[in-house]
Structure 1
Amino acid sequence: MSGKPINLEQVKLYMRERKAGKTQATASARSGMSERSGRRIDTGELKASSDKQRSWSTRADPFINVWDLEIVPLLTTNHDLTPITLFERLQKNHPGEYPDNKLRTFQRRVCKWKALYGPGREVMFRQEQVVGRMGLSDFTRLKKVSITIAGQIFPHLLYHFRLAFSGWCSVKVVHGGESYTAFAEGLQDALRRLGGTPKEHRSDSLSAAFRNLSKEAVNDVTQRYRQLCQHYNMEPTRNNRGKGHENGAIESPHGHLKKRIKQALLLRGSYDFESVTAYEVFVSEIIRDINAGKVDKIDEERRHLQPLPLQRTVDYTEKVVRVSTSSTIQIKRILYTVPSRLIGESLRIHIYDNRLDIYLDSTLTVTLPRVFVSDNKHRARRVDYRHVIKSLERKPQAFRYSQIRDDLLPNETYKAVWNWLDTEMESRKACKVMVGILALAHRADCEKQLGGYLQDQMNNQALPSLLALQQRFDTREQTVPFVKVEQPPAASYDVLLVKQSQEVH
């Protein structure tokens, strides 16, 4: 209609009619406009009047009385104040005037003020990734996923190394927390697998590795990090503390890596693994698939990497301890047993992330799996009955009140066996039988089979005979030497009688 603006509803009705196949004239007539206006809509010349941006407010400003007097001075003084903090202050100073349904309006108002009058924000400068220049390291943790090993929760971290240009990556399962040992071991494993070294290595500030360390220990770790990078001819760099985006070439891939692991676990149908090794193989297969999709860029970057040194450098922490008369050593609040033949000796311990290599002088004598203190414990033990069983077998009554009695029993089955024997047998006999069972398990290397048999015996309420157990499980061939005894003839004794008779006369 002439002189009357066309509204949005008319335009919508016209477009629906046109989509339904109506002509311009018919659609225009049904929409209450001229055919000329219909042509202008089809060519995009005419839009509904409601599409015009208005420059006025449609309702009264609820904060007009307090904005300039109270809010602006606070924002000017401290730009870090959040809208919710300021809104709660308004509600406290003006009870009943600012209900919660005004919060969103207030938040938009504060954000607009900060955009117009606030300080400049930090700018992210996108970096060009140069081939062969940078490798990055960081630790990460799987969240909302509980990996179990044989039904037991397995607390762990993932050490993640990545090349910035090609995206080649390596992951190591870390049994404990963030530490220099785990970092050095994971980095060297990655570089050996890669076959070369980048010119620069970047990590975060390693603050977690420095936690609870003295100033001297922190300086020692810093120096060791520099020496590690120097050994591989890499320039050591760190991002500024609290600036994770400076490590963005690995922080962002953390999320992609963890997502792939979670998806692979869902396809697998279980978060439980029979051993730590099985879980490590599972993770390594995921990493292999990630790297397989970047073969061209990885091959290009490998041509620009520096050569590896011939040998690894030190990636362990060393400690010297003396073995106590209880055949134990103390390492980082964990009590470990060692073979009793080492009692009184000074041992040099190489502490790795997942194991302890124990040396007597320069000879590797034993390797122990490393144990970590859980969050709700200050100390722990790692006891192997095989280390002390020969001595215990000679004095079985020491078993009952030993401080490490429960730790000497290798699993829950053997603990149940001890409780059963202690209930059903006389005190001294129960100790003797239990120690004999442990000695048999060690001597015949049948801990699992023997435990299963004893479980069946308990279910049948049949007390085991130690002799019967030995005959059943101790299958070692026992050879009895043949001794030939020659019986002298009786006539030979006559010589003695004749000689005695001559002496009497």
Structure 2
Amino acid sequence: MAGKRIGDHQVGIYKKHRAKLGQEVAAAKTGISVRSARRLDAIEGLPSQRPARAWRTRSDPFEAVWQSDIVPLLDATPALTATTLLEEMQRRYPGQYDVALLRTLQRRVRTWSASYGKEREVYFAQAHPPGRLGLSDFTHAAVLQVTIAGAMLLHLLYQFALAYSGWRYVEVVLGGESFMALSSGVQNAAWMMGGVPEEHRTDSLAAAFNNKSEQELLTRRYEALCSHYGMRPSRNNLGVSHENGSIEARQGTLKRTMEQALLLRGHRDFADLDAYRVFVAEVFGRLNARIASKFNEERALLIALPARRSSDYEEVDARVTKYGTMTVRKVLYSAPSRLVGHRLKVRIFSDKLECWLGNVCVLELRRGQPDPVSGRGKVVDYRHLLPALKRKPGALARSVLRDDLFPRTEYLQMWVHLKDALPEAQACRLMVGLLDLAGNEGCEAALAQRLAVLLVSGEMPDLDELRQEMAPRQAQCPTVTVVLPSLASYDCLLEAA
């Protein structure tokens, strides 16, 4: 029966047992067959001392075609597999080479590759002194299937890690791999750990840009960011991810740890984005607790932080049009009518926009992302356009932003119901009144629930009744009577003392 070869060590164990025991018992204790024991008793010396076998137990089935057919194919294309070569031989010589010969051909090809094959990639293990190297990378988190208030959250996770200690910082990123997300993540990590390493390495972020000028701009801004903190910038070669192995491996452990934490939590839905960010912070906090001693050792060798942070935003100009909107990076944003006609300096952060007029921040908006299909996006706040709609309610019917003005699905469903049940002018006035009630009375969510009930019952909303129902309740303050003791009562306390 075929099995593992008997080595010198096993022969020595058998000889030791054989000196005291019979052949069968010694073979059983050694773990070999009786037939092998008889063969060992009949020969002298160890297996390593015997000459290598120079004969074959059977004829080579590929001897006729090995040099003439197979070797030329391997010389021309070393990446060919034994399966492909066997199929080619079956095509050239029908009926001569059965599929059962595949294992034989695999051994022959493996031996040939070891002698004549192409050079393979060699990986060099690296030593990382403390305080020398920090790495950044982004990873897609769709596999976690996280939802915010029931809606799927499409996001990335940015991770910064120290190569020596393994300390890491993780941040939720909405959108793609932008310089703003990188700058924000690096600086947040630096100020959290209280210093920076000598070198900071990333992958080829230039892939996120479309042309050479943008790549050059990214390079200048990235070098300026690292120079501000006193770090030496570096990047791995394009498509060679193992050069960032210290961060690539930790991306897997991060997502596995988050997956386990979500399973333990029981569900993957979060009330808002801030709640999810707190969850992520708890996860990487537990990971950092495992390497606290090594991080304390490395933190003492980090470069001191500068006096202030560098800018982690990009600044562009945008004019608010007569429609109460402005476009920033292919995304349409609404703005209050008081800003119509003004040219604003817009600071683009990873998750928000700040709109400045001179040295005054006049507006802050949630940052939107272009749609992957159309390449355009919209972030519309109905509160910005509500004053104008109250003066011109009829404009709602055919406004290009009509569906984007409704803050929740229930409002859109109610508009469809009103449009079918009432004349257009009356439906517009009633819908604008509902939006006004939701925006100015601070009852958007509660009113949406009330509208859902009305839609199920088929009733029409009554604005006066809804205003009374949604009006804030008067606080009932209890009447507190304070009775002051007489001064003479303190004399009694003094006498008792």
Bin the TM-score by the shorter chain: 0.7 to 0.9
Q: Distance in 2 between matches of 1:338 and 1:463?
A: 31
Partner of 1:237: 234
Letter in 2 for 1:160: Q
Superposition deviation, residue 83 in structure 1: 4.0
Correspondent of 1:397 among 394, 398, 415: 394
Partner of 2:267: 270
Q: Distance in 1 between matches of 2:142 and 2:57?
A: 47
Are residues 98 and 40 of structure 1, via their aligned partners in 2, closer, same or farther at CA, if it must alter by over 3 Å?
A: closer
Superposition deviation, residue 346 in structure 1: 0.4
Q: Distance in 2 between matches of 1:266 and 1:365?
A: 43
Superposition deviation, residue 428 in structure 1: 1.2
Partner of 1:454: 451
Q: Distance in 2 between matches of 1:273 and 1:118?
A: 54
Are residues 376 and 100 of structure 1, via their aligned partners in 2, closer, same or farther at CA, if it must alter by over 3 Å?
A: farther
2:333–2:380: 8 Å Cα contact kept in structure 1? yes
Q: Does 1:127 align with 2:132?
A: no
Superposition deviation, residue 375 in structure 1: 2.9
Correspondent of 1:441 among 426, 438, 442: 438
Superposition deviation, residue 386 in structure 1: 0.3
Are residues 425 and 100 of structure 1, via their aligned partners in 2, closer, same or farther at CA, if it must alter by over 3 Å?
A: farther
The CA deviation string for residues 174-203 of structure 1, in whole angstroms up to 9 with x for no partner, is 111112111111111111111101011111
Superposition deviation, residue 98 in structure 1: 4.3
Letter in 2 for 1:149: I
Are residues 104 and 403 of structure 1, via their aligned partners in 2, closer, same or farther at CA, if it must alter by over 3 Å?
A: farther
Letter in 2 for 1:137: S
Please, what TM-score do these two structures have when normalized by structure 1? 0.82
5+ residue gaps, structure 1, are 1-5, 12-22, 29-34, 478-505
Q: Distance in 2 between matches of 1:143 and 1:415?
A: 28
Letter in 2 for 1:79: P
Q: Distance in 1 between matches of 2:233 and 2:155?
A: 26
Partner of 1:492: none
Partner of 1:173: 172
Partner of 1:195: 194
- Other structure's SS at 1:306 match: coil
Structure index of larger Rg? 1
Question: What does 1:423-438 correspond to in 2, within 5 Å?
Answer: 423-438=420-435
Superposition deviation, residue 370 in structure 1: 1.4
Partner of 2:478: none
Partner of 1:140: 139
- Other structure's SS at 2:251 match: helix
Superposition deviation, residue 64 in structure 1: 2.6
Q: Distance in 1 between matches of 2:101 and 2:109?
A: 13
The CA deviation string for residues 72-114 of structure 1, in whole angstroms up to 9 with x for no partner, is 1232233334444444444444445445554444333322211
2:83–2:102: 8 Å Cα contact kept in structure 1? yes
Superposition deviation, residue 251 in structure 1: 1.2
Question: What does 1:25-174 correspond to in 2, within 5 Å?
Answer: 35=22, 38-39=25-26, 47-48=36-37, 56-142=55-141, 144-174=143-173
Q: Distance in 1 between matches of 2:279 and 2:359?
A: 36
Q: Distance in 2 between matches of 1:468 and 1:138?
A: 55
2:206–2:218: 8 Å Cα contact kept in structure 1? no
Are residues 247 and 48 of structure 1, via their aligned partners in 2, closer, same or farther at CA, if it must alter by over 3 Å?
A: farther
- Other structure's SS at 1:406 match: helix
Letter in 1 for 2:149: A
Bigger shift: residues 147-156 or 299-308: 147-156
Q: Distance in 1 between matches of 2:23 and 2:398?
A: 105
Correspondent of 1:356 among 353, 359, 367: 353
Q: Distance in 2 between matches of 1:355 and 1:50?
A: 81
Superposition deviation, residue 435 in structure 1: 0.8
1:136–1:162: 8 Å Cα contact kept in structure 2? yes
Partner of 1:341: 338
Are residues 276 and 43 of structure 1, via their aligned partners in 2, closer, same or farther at CA, if it must alter by over 3 Å?
A: closer
- Other structure's SS at 1:248 match: helix
Q: Distance in 2 between matches of 1:102 and 1:318?
A: 67
Superposition deviation, residue 49 in structure 1: 6.8
- Other structure's SS at 1:388 match: helix
Letter in 2 for 1:313: S
Q: Does 1:330 align with 2:350?
A: no
Partner of 1:221: 218
Superposition deviation, residue 209 in structure 1: 2.4
- Other structure's SS at 1:335 match: strand
Q: Distance in 1 between matches of 2:103 and 2:119?
A: 24
Q: Distance in 2 between matches of 1:37 and 1:453?
A: 89
Correspondent of 1:261 among 238, 258, 262: 258
Q: Distance in 2 between matches of 1:121 and 1:146?
A: 38
Question: What does 1:296-307 correspond to in 2, within 5 Å?
Answer: 296-307=293-304
Letter in 1 for 2:125: R
Partner of 2:307: 310
Partner of 2:244: 247
Question: What does 1:197-212 correspond to in 2, within 5 Å?
Answer: 197-210=196-209
Bigger shift: residues 409-418 or 110-119: 110-119
Q: Distance in 1 between matches of 2:395 and 2:273?
A: 35
Q: Does 1:182 align with 2:174?
A: no
1:180–1:209: 8 Å Cα contact kept in structure 2? no
Q: Does 1:293 align with 2:269?
A: no
The CA deviation string for residues 357-411 of structure 1, in whole angstroms up to 9 with x for no partner, is 1111221122111121343332221111000000011010100000011111111
CA RMSD of aligned residues (A): 2.9
Q: Distance in 1 between matches of 2:280 and 2:105?
A: 48
Q: Distance in 1 between matches of 2:418 and 2:460?
A: 8
Bigger shift: residues 97-106 or 392-401: 97-106
Q: Distance in 2 between matches of 1:467 and 1:37?
A: 102
Letter in 2 for 1:336: Y
2:131–2:301: 8 Å Cα contact kept in structure 1? yes
Letter in 2 for 1:228: L
Bigger shift: residues 270-279 or 218-227: 270-279
Q: Distance in 1 between matches of 2:95 and 2:372?
A: 47
Q: Distance in 2 between matches of 1:241 and 1:49?
A: 61
Q: Distance in 2 between matches of 1:7 and 1:143?
A: 49
Please, what TM-score do these two structures have when normalized by structure 2? 0.83
- Other structure's SS at 1:66 match: helix
Letter in 2 for 1:439: D
Partner of 1:501: none
1:357–1:368: 8 Å Cα contact kept in structure 2? yes
Are residues 55 and 463 of structure 1, via their aligned partners in 2, closer, same or farther at CA, if it must alter by over 3 Å?
A: farther
Are residues 168 and 475 of structure 1, via their aligned partners in 2, closer, same or farther at CA, if it must alter by over 3 Å?
A: closer
Bigger shift: residues 256-265 or 36-45: 36-45
Percentage identity across paired residues of the two chains = 43
- Other structure's SS at 2:307 match: coil
2:206–2:215: 8 Å Cα contact kept in structure 1? no
Are residues 471 and 39 of structure 1, via their aligned partners in 2, closer, same or farther at CA, if it must alter by over 3 Å?
A: closer
1:7–1:50: 8 Å Cα contact kept in structure 2? no
Letter in 2 for 1:152: A
Letter in 2 for 1:243: V
